[in-house]
């Protein structure tokens, strides 16, 4: 069953209220109490389990969501960068809904160059986010579709370059051409952009994951094998599994794809215990 349009409209209204509450009290607001009644009327599993909890979280302060559409073998594109499309229309619609809930959507320069995405919400009702590209080396041309008239856009460039800061340019300090994820988020927050979707690609998401700056990760797993290609995640090696982060994860089908909703702030002690137990009972 598709998410009913009336329900999505209600979620958009609640999200606008959550953002307003957050902006009145940026360090964390209580989700307006009256929203509780409205939330109780939601019937679709995606509203109940995915969107409503996200919206409640928006009110509570800055929030970083990352999304990745990946094959069963953990690839987001072929080695040459072809990724249209890993996921089906239901997953793509979910991505557009996420865009409608956030203030800003962030991509890496390679995604901007290879995919030339618009980063709008054209598949669903709802506001377009501010579109942001991390482009320390100024590889992304101003003719890219993300700079069209549909919504504001920002190119994040290295402060040491001869770039001029203006409406569409944010200059940030970079070390060896790399912006620290916290620096990026602070720079966006100064422009009022506090709920942020990191949309890809893998290099960009991985930097935020490594810095532990992702609160919620949505993996859209497709029944597809790509073989050698661009990886969803590039993380440092671990010596032992007990050092691995374990967190709460739920699953929802979106057409033929599966949405894995990972709450990276909720440590999963029971899973850690279960794996520990399995390793001692072998």
Ligand X SMILES: NC(=O)c1ccc[n+]([C@@H]2O[C@H](COP(=O)([O-])OP(=O)(O)OC[C@H]3O[C@@H](n4cnc5c(N)ncnc54)[C@H](OP(=O)(O)O)[C@@H]3O)[C@@H](O)[C@H]2O)c1
* Residue 68 binding ligand X, by CB under 6 A: yes
- List C-alpha distances in Å: 254 to 158, 217, 258, 276: 39, 16, 6, 32
Choose the stretch contacting ligand X; rule: CB under 6 A; options: 29-37, 129-137, 253-261, 263-271: 129-137
* Residue 110 binding ligand X, by CB under 6 A: yes
Smaller CB separation from ligand X, 19 or 94 = 94
Q: For residues 168 and 157, is the Cβ–Cβ distance under 8 A?
A: no
Smaller CB separation from ligand X, 42 or 70 = 70
Pairing of strands 169-172, 229-231: unpaired
Which residues lie closer than 8 Å to 168 by C-beta, 6 or more apart?
147, 152, 153, 154, 155
Please give the distance of CA 197 from its chain centroid, rounded to a whole number: 3
* Residue 178 binding ligand X, by CB under 6 A: yes
- With CB under 6 A as the contact rule, the residue among 204, 209, 219, 226 that binds ligand X is 204
By CB under 6 A, what part of segment 18-37 binds ligand X? none
For residue 81, how many other CB atoms are within 10 A of its CB? 15
Q: For residues 108 and 200, is the Cβ–Cβ distance under 8 A?
A: yes
- With CB under 6 A as the contact rule, the residue among 21, 47, 51, 83 that binds ligand X is 83
* Residue 202 binding ligand X, by CB under 6 A: yes
Question: Least CB distance from residue 19 to ligand X, whole Å?
Answer: 25
Query: Encoding tokens for residue 63?
Result: 């929030």
* Residue 137 binding ligand X, by CB under 6 A: yes
- The span from the CA of 137 to the CA of 204, in Å, is 15
Smaller CB separation from ligand X, 21 or 198 = 198
* Residue 55 binding ligand X, by CB under 6 A: no
- The span from the CA of 43 to the CA of 187, in Å, is 38
Smaller CB separation from ligand X, 39 or 83 = 83
* Residue 230 binding ligand X, by CB under 6 A: yes
Instruction: Name the DSSP class of 80.
Output: T
Choose the stretch contacting ligand X; rule: CB under 6 A; options: 7-15, 74-82, 244-252, 265-273: 74-82
For residue 117, how many other CB atoms are within 10 A of its CB? 18
Smaller CB separation from ligand X, 162 or 269 = 162
Smaller CB separation from ligand X, 114 or 258 = 114
* Residue 139 binding ligand X, by CB under 6 A: yes
Vertex 18 angle, CA 14 and 20, to 5° = 115
| Backbone torsion region of residue 112, taken as left when φ is above 0, otherwise alpha when ψ lies between -120 and 50, otherwise beta | alpha
* Number of chain positions touching ligand X (CB under 6 A): 29
Choose the stretch contacting ligand X; rule: CB under 6 A; options: 121-129, 171-179, 248-256, 273-281: 171-179
Smaller CB separation from ligand X, 52 or 207 = 207
What is the binding site for ligand X (CB under 6 A)? Answer: 68-69, 76-77, 81, 83, 86, 107-111, 114-115, 134, 136-137, 139, 177-179, 199-204, 207, 230
């Amino acid at each position: 069953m598709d998410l009913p349009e009336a329900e999505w409209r209600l979620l958009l209204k609640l999200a606008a209220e959550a953002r307003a509450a957050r902006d009145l009290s940026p360090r964390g607001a209580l989700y307006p109490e009256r929203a509780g009644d409205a939330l109780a009327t939601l019937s679709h599993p995606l509203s109940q389990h995915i969107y409503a909890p996200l919206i409640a979280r928006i009110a509570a302060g800055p929030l970083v969501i990352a999304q990745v559409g990946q094959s069963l073998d953990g690839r987001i594109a072929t080695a040459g960068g072809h990724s249209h499309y890993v996921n089906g229309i239901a997953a793509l619609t979910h991505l557009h809904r996420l865009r409608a809930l956030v203030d800003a959507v962030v991509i890496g320069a390679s995604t901007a160059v290879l995919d030339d995405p618009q980063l709008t919400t054209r598949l669903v009702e709802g506001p377009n986010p501010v579109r942001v590209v991390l482009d320390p080396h100024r590889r992304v041309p101003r003719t890219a579709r993300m700079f069209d008239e549909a919504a504001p856009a920002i190119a994040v460039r290295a402060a040491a370059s001869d770039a001029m800061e203006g409406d569409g340019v944010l200059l940030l300090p970079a070390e060896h051409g790399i912006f620290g994820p916290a620096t990026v988020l602070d720079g966006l927050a100064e422009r009022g952009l506090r709920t942020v979707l990191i949309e890809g690609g893998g290099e960009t998401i991985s930097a935020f994951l490594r810095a532990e700056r992702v609160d919620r990760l949505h993996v859209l797993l497709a029944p597809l094998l790509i073989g050698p290609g661009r990886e969803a995640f590039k993380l440092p090696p671990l010596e032992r599994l007990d050092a691995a982060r374990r967190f709460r994860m739920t699953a929802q089908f979106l057409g033929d794809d599966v949405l894995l909703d990972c709450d990276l702030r909720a440590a999963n002690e029971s899973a850690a215990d279960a794996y520990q137990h399995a390793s001692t009972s072998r």
